[in-house]
Amino acid sequence: MELLHQPEDIVAERYQIVNILGQGGTGTTYEAEDLQTRKRVAIKGLSLDRMADWKVLELFEREASVLSHLNHPGIPCYIDYFQVERPNNHSFYLVQELAEGRSLFSLVQSGWHATEKDVRQLASQILDVLSYLHQLTPPVIHRDIKPHNIVRREDGQIFLVDFGSVKATYQNTITAGSTVVGTYGYMAPEQFRGQAFPATDLYGLGTTLLYVLTHRSPSEFPSRQLKINFRSQLPFSSEFADWLEKLLEPAVENRFLSAKEALSVLKGEGVLVPIHRRPAGTRVAFTKTQKRLVAELPRNGLGYRDVYNLISALISLVMSFFFFSFLPLIFFSPFFWLFPLGAIIVSMFGLAKLQEIVFKLLGRTKLEIDRQNFRLRWSLLGMFYQVQGRTQDIDRVELSKFVRPEDEWYAKLKGETPQPTIACTLVEGVRTHRFACWLTPIEKDWLTQEIAAFLKKPLAIR
C-alpha cells in the first residue's frame, strides 16, 4: 500500500510525522510529534482516493467513535479525529496517545523468551482490559487480539491497540472483500462464520500467549476438530496449560464465561470446571447459545429390565383383577379387608410400571431455559405436564438420588431395600424438578454440566 505520508511531513499544521508504526486494512499508523504539546502521539491516516471499498471508511469512523468513549489505563487515550481536504484528495485522521514500548510480536522476533510468571502477568493485564470492554453497554469486542496489537513497555505495562475491527463484520485481513474479521492463526472458529462474542477475544488471547510461549504461530500446531494440540510444546505447569487450553476451546460455550472468570481462575481465586464434551452416540438433541438452552430427551425404548417390568406390571394388573373378581365370594370372611387393600396396592404398582414403560416408548421430555424463564415439559400421546418458573429463581443444578414411590412399594412387598434412581435436577427454592432418569450416567453428567454452565450456577452431586 502506498504511504500517505513520509517522515518530516506535517499533518493539519500540528502533527509532524516521525516514523511508520504499521499498516492495516483500515489505514496506516504513524508515530508523530504534537507540535503544540511536544508529546509523541500515534496518528492513523486513511486516504479516500486510495480506498478499495467504502466499508473501510465506516470501520475507521466506528473505531474513532468507540475509542472516544473508552477510559482504561491499558488503552491509549483518544485525542482527536479530523479530516483534511485537498484539491485531489480527502483524508481522515485518528489521533491517540502513543503506547510506549514494543509489540509482543516484535519482542518475540528479537528473541525475547517469556517465563511463566511473565506470561501470567501479561495475561492478567489483558484480561483486565477485556473485562472492562466486555462489561460496557453494549459490550465492546476487539475481534483482533494478536501479538502485533499488544504493546509491552519496559516496566511490564501492557497496552491494547488497533481497534480497527471493533464491532465490525468486515475487514480485508484475509482476502479482498472478505466478510471475515480477524487475522488468520489468531482467529476463533466462529469468526470464520462472521460471528463474534466476548469469548472470541479470549480465544485471541490464548493464541497470542501460545505464540509468546513457543515462538510459533498457532496455525503451525497440529489440530484435531479445530482443537490446537500444544501441550507437548509447553514446558510450563499443567495447571497453566489447563487454563490456556480452556481459552483455546473451539466451541464458544466451552471457553470461560467471561474475562472476569478467566482472570479469577488464573489468580487462583476460582475453580477451573472441567469440560464435559457431548458423549459419543447420545441421542439428546441439545442446543445452547448465550441467550437460550434447549434439551430434548429422546424416547428411551425398552431394555431387558423393562421387559421384566412389563411382565411384572401385567401380572400385577391381572392379580388385582382376580382380587376384585373374588371379592363377593369372600365378603363375609374375617379377612375381607385385606383383599381390596392388596388389590389396590398391586394395581397401583402395575399401573405405575406400565405408565413408566409407555412413557419410555412414546413420551418426550423437553427443557427450555432463557435468561428470563424456564420450562420443563413431559408429553405423551398429545397430553402433557409441565413446570415453569423464573430462571433467576433456580438456586443450583445437581445430580440427585431419590427413590420412586413405585420402587419403594415393590421393594417393601419383596422385603428388599429400594434402589435409588439418579436424576438431573433443578432446585428452585423449595421446589425440586427431576428429569432424565433413564439417561446413561455419562449423559446425565454432561447435561447437568451444560445446564450449570449456562445458568452460571453451582453444580452438586448428592
pLDDT at 439: 87
- Domain end residue (candidates: 97, 127, 146): 97
Same domain, 333 and 404: no
pLDDT at 400: 87
Same domain, 57 and 84: yes
Q: Which residues of the chain have pLDDT under 50?
A: 168-179, 303-304, 330-332, 335-339, 341-343, 346, 350
pLDDT at 160: 97
Same domain, 283 and 411: yes
The CATH number assigned to the domain holding 18 equals 3.30.200.20
Same domain, 238 and 115: yes
The verdict on pTM exceeding 0.85 is no
Same domain, 368 and 358: no
Q: Is 144 a catalytic residue?
A: yes
**Catalytic member of 9, 34, 144, 306:** 144
pLDDT at 227: 86
pLDDT at 425: 94
Specify burial of residue 71 (Cβ count, 10 A radius: 0-12, 13-18, 19+): exposed
d(CA 222, CA 203): 17
pLDDT at 378: 85
Domain-located, residue 460: yes
Same domain, 156 and 50: no
Give the contacts of 414 (CB within 8 A, at least 6 positions apart). Answer: none
- Taking Cα atoms as reference points, which of 393, 398, 396 lies closest to residue 371? 393
**Domains of the chain: total:** 4
Domain-located, residue 4: no
pLDDT at 175: 35
The CATH number assigned to the domain holding 242 equals 1.10.510.10
Same domain, 289 and 192: no
Same domain, 285 and 256: no
Same domain, 81 and 119: no
pLDDT at 391: 95
Specify burial of residue 192 (Cβ count, 10 A radius: 0-12, 13-18, 19+): middle
pLDDT at 238: 80
Burial 145-170 (b: 16+ CB within 10 A, else e): bbbbbbbbeeeeebbbbbbbbbbbeb
Domain-located, residue 1: no
Domain that holds residue 82: 10-97
d(CA 162, CA 96): 10
Domain-located, residue 2: no
